[in-house]
Chains A and B, each alone.
Chain A
Amino acid sequence: MDLASIVFLVLAAILVGSALAVVTLRNIVHAALFLVLVFGAAAGIYILLNAEFIAIVQILVYAGAVTILILFAIMLTQNPNSRGSNPMNRQALIAAFIAAALCAGIIFALSQNNAISAAASQAVTQNAGTAVAIGNLLYSPTSYSYVLPFEIATLVLLVAIVGAIVIGREED
């Protein structure tokens, strides 16, 4: 077993363990903090796949921004040390079933299509995850052009900002 496999197994164990902690812990602050760990471990796995840019964006956006916003919302609304603030509900079993089904679907789909797995492994070996490679793919396309989707995504974000202001603004 080489070093990369060992690192992967460690990261995967952390990932799965902290993901379970997110859904099972009773204190919602602890759950949110474990979410940071989940994102961090996922970023580690991206780095193992040579997807350096995605890994860092994962940390920047998810661990650094999304979770912080979650924590911020908790801090503004919850009592400190409120136990049982992340209650299990009766749909936990159904949720587990659906999650398992989704997971199985993705694994089955990937296992059946050799073209996609081949393309993925090619991307890993060709260092497609660097910022330069992604920039080239976005703006300097070969078969698809991702300029338009990229711009539309910015529009979606603009709408989200305007909407948040409209809903959140106090009428003066």
Chain B
Amino acid sequence: MAFTYAISGGDWARIAPELALLVAALLVMLVDALIPARLRGALVIIGVMGVLAALAGVIMLYASSGSPSAFGGMVTSDPLALFATLVILAATGLSLLLSPGYIERQGTRQQGEFYALVMLAATGMVLMAASTNLMMIFLGLELLSLPLYVLCAFAPGQQRAQESGMKYFLLSSFASGFLLYGMALIYGATGATNLGGINHFVATHAMSATAGFGPILLGGMALLAVGLAFKVSAIPFHAWTPDVYQGALTPVTALMSVGTKMAAFVALIRVFDVALAPVRADWQGIMWALAILTMVGGNILAATQTNVKRLLAYSSIAHAGYLLIGIALGTQAGIAALLYYMAAYAVMNVGAFGVVLALERVAGLGTNLDDYRGLASRRPALAAALAVFLFALAGIPGTAGFVAKYAIFAAAVTGGHAELTIIGVVASMIGFYYYLRVIWAMYFVPAPDMPAAEAANANPHLSLAGLNSAVVTKLAASGTPLAFSAGLALALALIGTLGLGIFPAPLISLARQAAGLP
């Protein structure tokens, strides 16, 4: 028996974006150990350069020809993976830019680890989006989840952050268990872990209750759907989302809400819409119900929130509902609409979280709806930016959100599921209410009589955080200054939100290419 190594350099080139992110993460850790503590804020530069390098890798792969599959069918660099990579990279880059200043304000000293974990989470997301094997999907999921558990609990000494990390860890591990068991059952039914093999088996074997593999496959699909629905926070697997999003550091929330969703949706597309397409009748009902529940439930629950971070968390649940329409349709047009929606959602949601982050004080204070009263007079630029992002999330014409919603509802109508469109539109109407409530508070309600400083002083959390009252007063009066990089990130998100709304054509064609449409 002789030893041969069958992996070529071309295989590694096929995962160039992942490698770029990984190298950046390792570099961050290495440099972190070598430089003095006061320079650690500059580590974000390495992270952003890693994202740019990964972007270059994506462009290279778009330009390259040849079979996109690599590592013996473990991963691929097809247009779907590349599109998802673009979205994840956008979210990662913007989150990184939002972080400097903010994480120091939150009392984080271990900045090197923070940026390294963000980059590793991004690696996991990109990898999961590129996986064409159940095993790789699971490993990518773990690689994106483990850093996020830690990042959620990153703020030192803040109980809410600890709670967030712990909740996410416990519930997500549980969901991973479901996912893994589902994968085991699918392997048991089809005898393959790579999606091509599963597709081949399902296409060549008639599904029937007497076939033996039928019940196993159904059980596997159900458990797999549960596991992935947890990751995209679809109702009824959403319970973790508000607490985790609220407690985590805001850049982490922004990354989590977009990156995890993108990766999990690509996995859903690859497993259900592609590999299990021949048995669409068996899973379509689940996705249909999930989509409706998530759209309606997410919007209704969001309407009752008084904390902006929680509100955005529920809004992200609601958007997962719209996105699930694309899965439930099972058509290529639906997938294209989903991908475009995801890109639009990335810029507008990260932007909205960016404004929240700019206004947030230590220990999660300053994120209540009351704190936004009269914001337009205090911080007019931030208020205007938040208004644009919220309009986009609500789906006002002229913004990316409108085009995205239009695309997905149109796909639903042409795909023969007009009922999803109707329910989606009604749910969006509910959505208008709470988005506009924030805007109304910012523009039409005067600032509260009691200075925020007093309220903050009365709050035991803040005194625990060790801030003296002078600092608090200063913070409350002028707000925290916006770091340059955060301003840059907000500007980029704003350009993206408006640009995708006004000139959607190039990205739509890219999304259609990713979905396999001409």
Partner-B contacts on A (CB < 8 A): 102, 105-106, 108-110, 112-113, 115-116, 119, 132, 136, 139-141, 143-145, 147-149, 152-153, 155-156, 158-160, 162-163, 165-167, 169, 171
Given A155-B120, A162-B113, A169-B110, answer yes or no on A140-B6 (Cβ-Cβ < 8 Å): yes
Report the minimum CB–CB distance from B63 to chain A (whole Å): 23
Per the bound structure, the CA–CA distance linking A112 and B109 in Å amounts to: 55
Nearest-neighbor residue (CB-CB) of A157 within chain B: B146
Near A by CB (< 8 A), chain B positions 149-169 give 149-150, 153-154, 156, 165
CB <8 Å contact, B74 and A144: yes
Write out the residue numbers on chain A whose beta carbons fall within 8 Å of the beta carbon of B127.
152
Write out the residue numbers on chain B whose beta carbons fall within 8 Å of the beta carbon of A171.
109, 156
Per the bound structure, the CA–CA distance linking A76 and B420 in Å amounts to: 56
Q: Which of A113, A139, A143, A152 lies in contact with B5, CB distance below 8 A?
A: A139
Report the minimum CB–CB distance from A111 to chain B (whole Å): 8
Write out the residue numbers on chain A whose beta carbons fall within 8 Å of the beta carbon of B285.
none
Q: Which of A110, A147, A156, A165 lies in contact with B146, CB distance below 8 A?
A: A156
CB <8 Å contact, A163 and B110: no
Known contacts A149-B139, A152-B127; 15 further A-B pairs (Cβ under 8 A): A105-B185, A109-B184, A109-B188, A116-B188, A136-B3, A144-B74, A148-B136, A149-B135, A152-B139, A158-B120, A163-B117, A163-B146, A163-B150, A165-B113, A169-B110
CB <8 Å contact, B120 and A159: yes
CB <8 Å contact, A108 and B216: yes
CB <8 Å contact, A113 and B7: no
Nearest-neighbor residue (CB-CB) of B185 within chain A: A109
Binary interface encoding of chain B residues 85-100 relative to chain A, with 1 for a CB under 8 A from any of its CBs, else 0: 0000000000000000
CB <8 Å contact, B73 and A163: no
Per the bound structure, the CA–CA distance linking A141 and B113 in Å amounts to: 35
| Chain B interface, number of residues (Cβ within 8 angstroms) | 51
Given A155-B143, A162-B113, A162-B150, answer yes or no on A147-B1 (Cβ-Cβ < 8 Å): no
CB <8 Å contact, B117 and A155: no
Per the bound structure, the CA–CA distance linking A165 and B153 in Å amounts to: 13
CB <8 Å contact, B188 and A159: no
B4 within 8 A of A: yes
Per the bound structure, the CA–CA distance linking A33 and B156 in Å amounts to: 35
CB <8 Å contact, B143 and A159: yes
Given A160-B146, A171-B156, answer yes or no on A112-B72 (Cβ-Cβ < 8 Å): no
Near A by CB (< 8 A), chain B positions 1-39 give 1, 3-7, 11, 15, 22, 29
- Give the tally of cross-chain contacts (CB within 8 A): 111
Write out the residue numbers on chain B whose beta carbons fall within 8 Å of the beta carbon of A113.
188-189, 191, 212-213, 216
Per the bound structure, the CA–CA distance linking A106 and B189 in Å amounts to: 10
- Residue pairs across A and B with Cβ atoms less than 8 A apart, 23 shown, are A106-B188, A116-B188, A119-B191, A139-B3, A139-B5, A140-B4, A147-B7, A148-B71, A149-B74, A149-B133, A149-B135, A149-B136, A152-B139, A155-B123, A155-B143, A156-B139, A159-B117, A159-B150, A162-B113, A162-B116, A162-B117, A162-B120, A165-B113
Given A105-B185, A141-B6, A159-B117, answer yes or no on A147-B139 (Cβ-Cβ < 8 Å): no
Per the bound structure, the CA–CA distance linking A112 and B212 in Å amounts to: 6
Closest 7 CB pairs of A and B: A109-B188, A145-B72, A163-B150, A112-B212, A152-B139, A148-B71, A159-B146
Report the minimum CB–CB distance from B152 to chain A (whole Å): 11
Report the minimum CB–CB distance from B251 to chain A (whole Å): 16
Near A by CB (< 8 A), chain B positions 395-448 give none
Write out the residue numbers on chain A whose beta carbons fall within 8 Å of the beta carbon of B136.
148-149, 152
Per the bound structure, the CA–CA distance linking A113 and B185 in Å amounts to: 11
Per the bound structure, the CA–CA distance linking A80 and B172 in Å amounts to: 34
Write out the residue numbers on chain B whose beta carbons fall within 8 Å of the beta carbon of A140.
3-6
CB <8 Å contact, B189 and A136: no
Q: Which of A102, A148, A160, A162 lies in contact with B181, CB distance below 8 A?
A: A102
Given A113-B213, A155-B120, A167-B153, answer yes or no on A144-B191 (Cβ-Cβ < 8 Å): no
Write out the residue numbers on chain A whose beta carbons fall within 8 Å of the beta carbon of B194.
144
CB <8 Å contact, B117 and A116: no
Per the bound structure, the CA–CA distance linking A148 and B127 in Å amounts to: 10
Write out the residue numbers on chain A whose beta carbons fall within 8 Å of the beta carbon of B215.
108
B75 within 8 A of A: yes
Q: Which of B1, B110, B133 lies in contact with A166, CB distance below 8 A?
A: B110
Per the bound structure, the CA–CA distance linking A149 and B233 in Å amounts to: 26
Near A by CB (< 8 A), chain B positions 183-217 give 184-185, 187-189, 191, 194, 212-213, 215-216
Report the minimum CB–CB distance from A106 to chain B (whole Å): 7
B140 within 8 A of A: yes
CB <8 Å contact, A162 and B29: yes
